[in-house]
Amino acid sequence: QVAVDNMFAAYCEDLRVAGYKVAFGDADAKAGAKDTLPPAWDKILSALEQMVPQGGFINGLNFPTTADMVLVNFAEAAGPFQDVLKFVGAYNWQDKYPKIKANVDRSLAVAEVQTYIRSSGTLKNTGAKIYADVLGRELGHAVSFGCLRARSLQYEPSTGPARAPSSIGQGEVIQLVYFPIAGRGELCRLLAAVGGVSLEDQAPPEDGSHKKKFTGSLPQMKHGDFELTQSGAIESYIAAIAPK
């Protein structure tokens, strides 16, 4: 299960990167999105379609896991998924990938998922100004110079599930430092909501102190005295300690 969940989470990053290239691209990138984005997403979604079962959840359990939440994140989150469709026009992934659509529908029927989607202040937040002012320059340069690349699974051997350090009490709440948008933080939030993990959002400190931790990239997570960065690592950690 851990390997499958990690694989789907890595594919989620592939989908994000394709969307970010449009969201943070120049006028030509946006104008050409209808020709570039569908093939990029189709390549990933067609592979996922083959791995999604006809019924039930992806790992064969009676509840959704990270792999299922990846598909919910793609289907429901504003950025960098639904937001960029305005540059594409018609992109009917629901008809092209019926098993993915059916899996998303099954996950959306889960009470915890429904509760999260109704109450989330980030899932549908387009965050246009935040994207442009805070993220745009940094990610725009990354796209322009070819530094922003999807992670390759063959170079990412699984380290197995994370475990909460013994120094962390059961009542400790995970603090997720990220912008109030979907982006690379939404799958973390979805996993916490479905798994019964207490998580609270924290905006990046105005004094920029988060830039002194790790490489300064976001999201960052603090759980008691334990800290992590990189969305994939945080997602794996939350899934591993989830009581549900």
**CATH code of the domain covering residue 6:** 1.20.1050.10
Answer yes or no: are the C-beta atoms of 143 and 25 closer than 8 Å.
yes
- In whole angstroms, how far apart are CA 87 and each of 46, 81, 82, 92? 21, 11, 10, 14
Say yes or no: 154 and 229 in one domain.
Answer: yes
Instruction: Please check whether residues 157 and 225 belong to one and the same domain.
Output: yes
Q: H or E stretch including 221?
A: strand 220-223
Query: Which tokens in the block code for residue 240?
Result: 């591993």
Instruction: Please tell me the predicted confidence (pLDDT) of residue 99.
Output: 98
Rounded Cα distance, 48 and 42, in Å: 10
Q: What tokens does 138 get? A: 């940094």
Lowest-pLDDT range of 23-32, 55-64, 101-110, 213-222: 213-222
Highest-scoring range by mean pLDDT, 41-55, 120-134, 144-158, 172-186: 41-55
Do 172 and 80 share a structural domain?
no
Q: Is the model's pLDDT at 10 over the cut of 70?
A: yes
Residue 139 has pLDDT above 80, yes or no: no
pLDDT band of 89, cuts 50, 70, 90: confident
| More confident: 171 or 78 | 78
- Specify whether 5 is located in the same domain as 98: yes
Question: Which pair of tokens denotes residue 27?
Answer: 């006028």
Local structure of residue 197 (DSSP, 8 states): -
- Looking up residue 183, the CATH number of its domain turns out to be 3.40.30.10
DSSP string, 38-93: HHHHHHHHHHHHHHS-SSS-TTSSSS--HHHHHHHHHHH-TTTTGGGGGGT----H
> What does the pLDDT read at residue 65?
95
Whether residue 63 is contained in a domain is answered as yes
- The count of structural domains within the chain is 2
Give the distance from CA 71 to its chain's centroid.
9
Task: Please indicate, yes or no, if residue 135 is contained in any of the structural domains.
Answer: no
- Of 65, 94, 128, at which residue does a domain stop? 128
Cis peptide before 64 (omega within 30 of 0): no
More confident residue, 217 or 68: 68
pLDDT at 192: 95
The reported pLDDT for the residue numbered 122 is: 92
Residues in the chain, total: 244
- Residue 120, H or E segment: none
4 plus 122 within the same structural domain: yes
Residue 142 lies in a domain: no
Q: Which domain holds residue 107?
A: 1-128
Q: What is the mean pLDDT of residues 65-78?
A: 96
Q: What is the mean pLDDT of residues 92-118?
A: 96
**In contact, 10 and 151? CB cutoff 8 Å:** yes
Residues 86 and 184 in one domain: no
* Residue 97 resides in a domain: yes
Residue 86 and residue 194 in one domain: no
138 belongs to a structural domain: no
In a domain? residue 136 = no
Run of H or E residues at 203: none
What pLDDT is stored for residue 154 in this prediction? 28
Pair (106, 180) in one structural domain: no
Same domain assignment for residues 6 and 119: yes
Q: pLDDT tens digits for 147-204?
A: 333 332 222 333 444 455 555 666 789 999 999 999 999 999 999 999 999 999 999 9
pLDDT score for 148 = 32
Residues 16 and 104 in one domain: yes
Using DSSP's 3-state secondary structure scheme, residue 171 falls into coil
Residue 205, pLDDT > 90, answer no
